[in-house]
Each structure stands twice: as structure tokens, then as C-alpha cells.
Chain A
């Protein structure tokens, strides 16, 4: 899919996500809007995955370590064909398999159950190591939040990935500068992230995480330096695409009222 179509698709995914949050009365809309372009590019441009064979041993793997933005992943998976699109309407409903955090046992296309932060990257290191042991060429992608990088387990994994030379592993940090309660810089400021990853022996790229040309270029295997894992620091906006949510800490998991919902939907429709 070319970047023009990716932009249109990401816009549709944002609208479906917004509608589902509004109807469910819950969700993590801020982080979902910041990660949507990254997920869209991964599933519709970069990754080799097949909804007809979700457990194909040679599939590429994606771990959404910031599991609280599961809804964005569900919508992407439904667009890709892993789930019926109409099932998104069951988000958070009684007995729905689409709860607030992704479950690999219930939802095809999910690779590992996330929710507690700092779990995805260690699992991704294990996946990438498995591929290396087999001499296989599938890739592993992990998306973390920037606040999530405060979890020490990530840095254990960052050390190991570099030591093991896992050039088949790509970490994408959704750097939206906001965490649940406050701005990253006012909480425990890890920025700037690139020199820290570089110091641990990773190849680091910095991109605009809402620019499809930059995202797809960064995800290309052409950027891989042999023997080094890759980190893409994606500069994003929490609530991206919706003016009153964008870069506003209040919208971590706030739910829009009817007027806000209509305005947000109108803004996204106008942006097509």
C-alpha cells in the first residue's frame, strides 16, 4: 500500500477507534491516536503477516507493549482481516474477547498478552533470538510508550538485544511526551531517548511518527545495521488528529461527550 492510501486508512482507523471509545464509554484514546499511524504502516506496508495463517512460523511479529491502546490494534487487525470488522462494536462488552488489553489466546494476530508495562521488549528479544537460532528472516517489532521506558525491564532487554546482536529486532518508541498523569519531562524525564539507545549499542532513527513517508522509510530493512538492533524514536502527539485532544494530558483515557465526539469525528473526516 502506498503512503497516500496508508494515510487514508489510518484516518479510517482513527475514526473507528474514536467511535468505539465513545460507544464503549472507555478506552485510551490519546495513546491510540498517537500509535495509529505506526500500526497502520506496520500491518499494511512493512510486515509479512497473513490473517489466513496467523500462526505461520515465518510471520513477522508485532508486540504492542503499550497494551492499554489495544483498541487501536484491534481496529488495525480487523482492517487486515484477523477479526470481523463488526466485532469492534463489542469492545469492552460483557464476554467480548476484546477487553482493554490484547490477549493472544483469544484474538488472532496478537502475539503476547500485554498490559503491565515493560513486558513487550523482553518477549521481543526472545522472539528475535528464536529467529536467529533458526536462521530465519522474519522480523520482530515492539512498540512501547515513552513513559513505559521508565520500566527497568526494558533496559534489561535493551542490554541483551545489543549483546545478542539482534539486528532482526526493531523497537519503536511512541514518543508522545505524555504519560498517564503528567508530561514525561515533569515525571521522570528520559528524553532525549536517542543517545541512551545509541549508548547501549543500538542503531537509532528519529522520525515524525505521523508522517507515513518517514515511517515506512524507517521501517525498511534497508536501515538495518548488521549485528545491531534498531530503535525508531517516533515523535508523535497524544490525541493526534483531534485538535482539543492533541498533546493534552487530560486525554489519556478520557471519553468524549456527544459534542466532543461530533467535533472530533468532523475533524477527522475533514482531514481525509
Chain B
């Protein structure tokens, strides 16, 4: 296997999000969208045109936006509250805690352009803390789909799930990874590549890079398992422990700070139940320098080649 996505078409997962949302909203009049002036960046223009009364734009006011979402849920609506992820999670974190998590309301938080999708706009617009912030809260599953197919599946799941959740979407183009018709299961990772020497766990825009890294490793005679772990909370303990037992080493990759995100969640399971060597790739606790979204991932050691190199180094630590 070499260069698996060389000629693959890249998709903006926001398109899959809004296509699914519009389809669901056509069938269920209780589905509403709430946003903070982000009609365009959340790709909600189609929704607005089809369901103008159900697009609730509160203006640039994220605290109110999340509170309004909770109130709409109290009134029987199924609100998808959409905003750029740094502002949704950062500005309105206490509303997410009190009005959504603690109040256990049926609010679907959709963080758009998460991670470092805004690239050169800089760290104010990066959302590389959102896994950690939201993962600390009970009652709010944290999910980062990897491609348009998984995004579509996650939106359909969210619409029927009774409770709040945080869906972390990107705007960076990604190739298809999961099979058409994929059904999302909360807290269940997907095996993208089988392997026995090392396991790479990723989600979001990192999953396809992890698959490419596995191809690089295959060229070196190394069999790497790749898990697409969209759900960061509740984490798939079974898949992690199987990987630990079967491959003896785990490498995590995430478009997030290494403080408290996917790698931390995986490490918590490993430390508690089956310690094996681990390496956690991500943004190493710094505010990013100026670069494009893809360049930043490369610069922070998450090009497919660098991921493969980290996997080789990690394997050297196996007992």
C-alpha cells in the first residue's frame, strides 16, 4: 500500500453537515439551527433559505447563543448550535457547563473550523483546547468525525440522540475514509487498517494522515493498526485495550494541544488498565506560529512521514 489518497477528491465536511441537517430538518420540524452571525462560515445559507424561521441568528453573542439553545431544547426543539469552535467552546464554556451539561439539555453543539483550520489567522482562531475543555464535562459526548461520510453519520446520530453533545468539525478538505452508508456508534472506534506491530489512533483531519503513515510503515515492513477514534468521550476503552494487548505500543495524533485531548484520554485508559509505551502527537502546549492549517500539522510532527517516524521510534521502546 503506497500513497493511499494520492488522487483522492477532498471534501469540506461542513457541506456534509449542512446537507444532512437540511434533510433532517425537512423531516422534523423541531430541528432548528442557532448561530452567532456565522451563517456563511457554518454553511447555513441553504438551511436559512429553506427554513428561514428556524435559523435563529443571535448575532455575535456566543454566551447568549448557547443559553438560547438550552431554552429552545426546554421548549421541545432540537437545536444545532453552530459557531466557530474557538468561540463556541471558549467564550461560552460556562454556558456549556451549566445550561447544557449540568442541566442535561438536548443541545447539539457544532464547533466549526475547529483545530487549526484557520491557520494563518492565528491562535485566537485556533481551537486546540476544545477536546480538553468539553471532555471535562459530564453528559456531553465529544465527537470529531474524520470525513464527509462520518460527518453525515454523526449528524444523523445527534439528531436522534437524547442529550447534549459536542461535534467538532473542520473546514479543511479531507478524503473519504469510511464506507458509504457508515452508521456512527457513540464511543466506538473504527479500524481503518489492521496491524500488529503498533497502533496509531487519530480522529478528525488526522485520520487520513494516520492511514497514509501506515502505508509508509508498511513499506518498511511494519504492520500498523489505525483506529479512527471520533468519540473522545466516552472513549472506546475496549478498542484501546485491544490495541495495547495486540500491538504493544500506541501512538496518538490529534489537531489539539497534547494537554487533555485524545492522547490524554487514551493515556488515561492505558495507565489505568494496561500500560504500554505511548507517544502523543499534537500541538505541544504552545500557541502556533504563522502557517496554513496543513503546514501547521506538518510543522508539529504530523506529516505522514513524521507520524511513521514517531511510530518507529515508539516501537523501539517496546519491551
Contacts and interface: CB of A to CB of B under 8 A. Distances in A.
A105 interface: yes
Nearest to A111: B74
Interface string A72-85: 00000000000000
Contact of A123 (B59, B61, B74, B94): B74
B68 A122 contact: yes
B54 A123 contact: no
A122 B54 CA distance: 17
B76 A123 contact: no
Contact of A122 (B53, B63, B76, B104): B63
B108 interface: no
Q: How large is the interface on A (under 10, 10 to 19, 20 to 34, 35 or more residues)?
A: 35 or more
Interface residues of B, number: 31
Could you tell me the dominant secondary structure of chain A's interface residues? helix
A175 to B, nearest CB: 22
Interface string A3-36: 0000000000000000000000000000000000
Given A104-B103, A119-B95, A127 B63 contact: no
A160 B59 contact: yes
A160 B58 contact: yes
A131 B53 CA distance: 13
Interface in A99-121: 103-105, 111-116, 118-119, 121
Interface stretch (A149-157, A190-198, A205-213, A261-269): A149-157
A118 B69 CA distance: 15
A105 B77 CA distance: 18
Nearest to B79: A126
Given A123-B71, A127-B74, A160-B58, A118 B99 contact: no
Contacts of A131: 75
Q: Which of the listed residues A116, A122, A126 has the most CB atoms from chain B within 10 Å of its own CB?
A: A126
A125 B70 CA distance: 10
B165 to A, nearest CB: 17
Given A119-B99, A122-B95, A123-B99, A130 B66 contact: no
Nearest to B101: A113
A126 B68 contact: yes
B32 interface: yes
A128 interface: yes
Interface in B65-91: 65-77, 79
A129 interface: yes
B157 interface: no
B75 A127 contact: yes
Interface in B95-135: 95, 98-99, 102-105
B56 interface: yes
A163 B75 CA distance: 19
Contacts of A140: 71
Interface string A142-177: 000000000011001101100110000000000000
A129 B75 contact: yes
Contacts of B72: 126-127, 129-130
Interface string B35-63: 00000000000000000011010110101
B16 to A, nearest CB: 26
A122 B66 contact: yes
A89 to B, nearest CB: 25
B103 A113 contact: yes
Query: Considering the complex of A and B, which 3 residue pairs feature the smallest CB-CB distances, nearest first?
Result: A126-B71, A130-B75, A122-B67
6 contacts: A103-B102, A105-B104, A119-B67, A119-B99, A123-B74, A126-B72
Interface of A: 57, 61, 103-105, 111-116, 118-119, 121-131, 133-134, 140, 152-153, 156-157, 159-160, 163-164
Interface of B: 32, 53-54, 56, 58-59, 61, 63-77, 79, 94-95, 98-99, 102-105
